[in-house]
Chains A and B, each alone.
Chain A
Amino acid sequence: MTIATKISSSSAAGMIKAIESGSKHLVIKRFTLRYPEQKLKFIGDGYQFDPKRGVGIAGSRGRHILFHDKCTGCQLCAIACEGIAEAIGMVKVDEQWKHNKKSIMPQIDFGKCVFCGLCVDACPFYALYMTNDYELSSFTKEHLIYTPAQLAIKPKYDGNVELKIDNMGATHG
Chain B
Amino acid sequence: MASIIWLILWILIIVSLVGLPLIFIILFYLPLPPVNGEVLTPYLFLSMMVDPTRTLPILHFIIHTDLFKVAVFPGFSFAALLAAVTIFVERKFLAKMQLRIGPLYCGKIEGILQLLADGLKLIAKEIIIPSGADKPIFWAAPIAFVATAAAVVALIPVAPGWVAADVNVGIIAVFAILGFFPLIALLFSWASNSKYPFIGGLRALHQMIAFEIPFFLSALSVVILSGSLNLTDIAKAQHPYWYIFFLPISAFVFFISSLAELERIPFDLPEAESEIVAGWLTETSGMIFGLIQLGSYVKVYALSALFVVLFLGGWAGPQIFPKELAHGPTAGLMGLLTLQGVYNGVTVNAIFWFTVKTLGIIMLMLLPRGISPRIRIDILLHTGWYKLIVLTFINMFIALALIYGGILGPGGLLTAH
A touches B (Cβ under 8 A): yes
Among the stretches B48-56, B93-101, B235-243, the one at the interface with A is B93-101
Partner of B371, one of A21, A28, A34, A169: A21
A30 near B99 with CB under 8 A, answer yes
B21 at the interface (CB under 8 A from A): no
B370 at the interface (CB under 8 A from A): yes
A25 near B98 with CB under 8 A, answer yes
23 chain-A/chain-B pairs, Cβ below 8 angstroms:
A18-B371, A18-B372, A21-B371, A22-B97, A22-B367, A22-B370, A22-B371, A23-B367, A25-B96, A25-B97, A25-B98, A26-B96, A26-B97, A30-B96, A30-B99, A30-B100, A30-B101, A31-B99, A32-B99, A32-B100, A32-B101, A34-B104, A169-B99
Please classify how large the interface on chain B is, using the bins under 10, 10 to 19, 20 to 34, 35 or more: 10 to 19
Kindly provide the distance from the CB of B149 to the nearest chain A CB, expressed in whole angstroms. 28
A19 near B371 with CB under 8 A, answer yes
Chain B residues positioned under 8 Å from A28 (CB to CB): 99
Closest to A20 in B: B371
User: In the complex, A25 Cα to B93 Cα: how many Å?
Assistant: 11
Chain B 85-127 interface residues, beta-carbon cutoff 8 Å to A: 95-101, 104
Chain A residues positioned under 8 Å from B97 (CB to CB): 22-23, 25-26
Chain A residues near B (Cβ < 8 Å): 15, 18-19, 21-23, 25-26, 28-32, 34, 169
Chain A residues positioned under 8 Å from B370 (CB to CB): 22
Given contacts A32-B101, A34-B104, could you give 8 more A-B pairs where the C-beta distance is less than 8 Å?
Answer: A18-B372, A19-B371, A21-B371, A22-B370, A26-B97, A30-B101, A31-B100, A32-B99
User: In the complex, A34 Cα to B105 Cα: how many Å?
Assistant: 11
User: In the complex, A29 Cα to B95 Cα: how many Å?
Assistant: 11
User: In the complex, A28 Cα to B99 Cα: how many Å?
Assistant: 7
- A22, A32, A34: which has the most chain B beta carbons within 10 Å? A22
Closest to B96 in A: A26
Chain B residues positioned under 8 Å from A19 (CB to CB): 367, 371
Kindly provide the distance from the CB of A135 to the nearest chain B CB, expressed in whole angstroms. 19
User: In the complex, A22 Cα to B100 Cα: how many Å?
Assistant: 13
Chain A residues positioned under 8 Å from B96 (CB to CB): 25-26, 30
8 shortest interchain CB distances as A-B pairs: A22-B371, A31-B99, A18-B371, A32-B100, A25-B97, A32-B101, A22-B370, A26-B96
User: In the complex, A68 Cα to B93 Cα: how many Å?
Assistant: 55
User: In the complex, A38 Cα to B101 Cα: how many Å?
Assistant: 14
Kindly provide the distance from the CB of B55 to the nearest chain A CB, expressed in whole angstroms. 46
User: In the complex, A15 Cα to B375 Cα: how many Å?
Assistant: 14
Kindly provide the distance from the CB of B187 to the nearest chain A CB, expressed in whole angstroms. 35
Chain B residues positioned under 8 Å from A26 (CB to CB): 96-97
Closest to B97 in A: A25
User: In the complex, A18 Cα to B367 Cα: how many Å?
Assistant: 11
Chain B residues positioned under 8 Å from A31 (CB to CB): 99-100
Kindly provide the distance from the CB of B252 to the nearest chain A CB, expressed in whole angstroms. 12
Kindly provide the distance from the CB of A103 to the nearest chain B CB, expressed in whole angstroms. 49
Chain B residues positioned under 8 Å from A15 (CB to CB): 372
Closest to B370 in A: A22
User: In the complex, A89 Cα to B108 Cα: how many Å?
Assistant: 47
Kindly provide the distance from the CB of A10 to the nearest chain B CB, expressed in whole angstroms. 15
Chain B 123-169 interface residues, beta-carbon cutoff 8 Å to A: none
Kindly provide the distance from the CB of A117 to the nearest chain B CB, expressed in whole angstroms. 32
Kindly provide the distance from the CB of B265 to the nearest chain A CB, expressed in whole angstroms. 12
User: In the complex, A113 Cα to B371 Cα: how many Å?
Assistant: 43
Closest to B368 in A: A19
Chain A residues positioned under 8 Å from B367 (CB to CB): 19, 22-23
User: In the complex, A32 Cα to B104 Cα: how many Å?
Assistant: 12
Mask of B230-251 contacts with A, CB within 8 angstroms, 1/0: 0000000000000000000000
